[in-house]
Amino acid sequence: MVHNFYLFRKSGECVISRDYGNPEVDEDLISGFLSAMFSFGRNISGSNIESVLLKDKKLVFLVNDNLIFGAYADRDETVKNKLETISDEFIEKYGNLEDWSGDRDLFVDFLPRLDEIFGGLGKEATDTLLDGFLKKVQTGKMFEIKGSLDEWIDSLKEKFKKTE
């Protein structure tokens, strides 16, 4: 099952966030984890993250031009093909949003198509997982790790154990 869908511009503005379930995830924990992973990926390979695998869940990303399409889903869910379909259809209909005004209501007519692709009736996600991540990126807090990287990773492991 896909729990959440996100579409945002590379510059950080959230275009669409859609909730298909209740992932019960600490948003600050995921936000910090993604910040470190995106930074690591760019610094080591110069490329973006395509996916993050957890024990039974995953985050999958597809970058297309100026837009980043993302989904938080069960690990056994096939997501990449769905993101490719959404990306192709969205860009064909709306373009790459280079000159987007910030009006999210322009895309309301696309939401039923998302629901069709993901096989469920979604609702607009409010304080979303990636919105928290993007706020940290925009405010420059994405590199804020107290103590050593090893200590930070150990703290993440402890937090994940508590959620299992």
CATH of residue 61's domain is 3.30.450.70
Structurally, the chain folds into a number of domains equal to: 1
Is the Cβ–Cβ distance between 129 and 72 less than 8 Å?
Answer: yes
Q: Please tell me which residue, 77 or 85, carries the higher pLDDT value.
A: 85
Between 82 and 129, the higher pLDDT residue: 82
Identity of the residue numbered 136? K
pLDDT at 148: 61
Cα 21 off chain centre by: 15
Task: Assign 127 a pLDDT band (cuts: 50, 70, 90).
Answer: very low
Identify the residue with better confidence: 164 or 1. 1
> Domain residues for 120?
2-163
**Does the pTM of the predicted model rise above 0.75?**
no
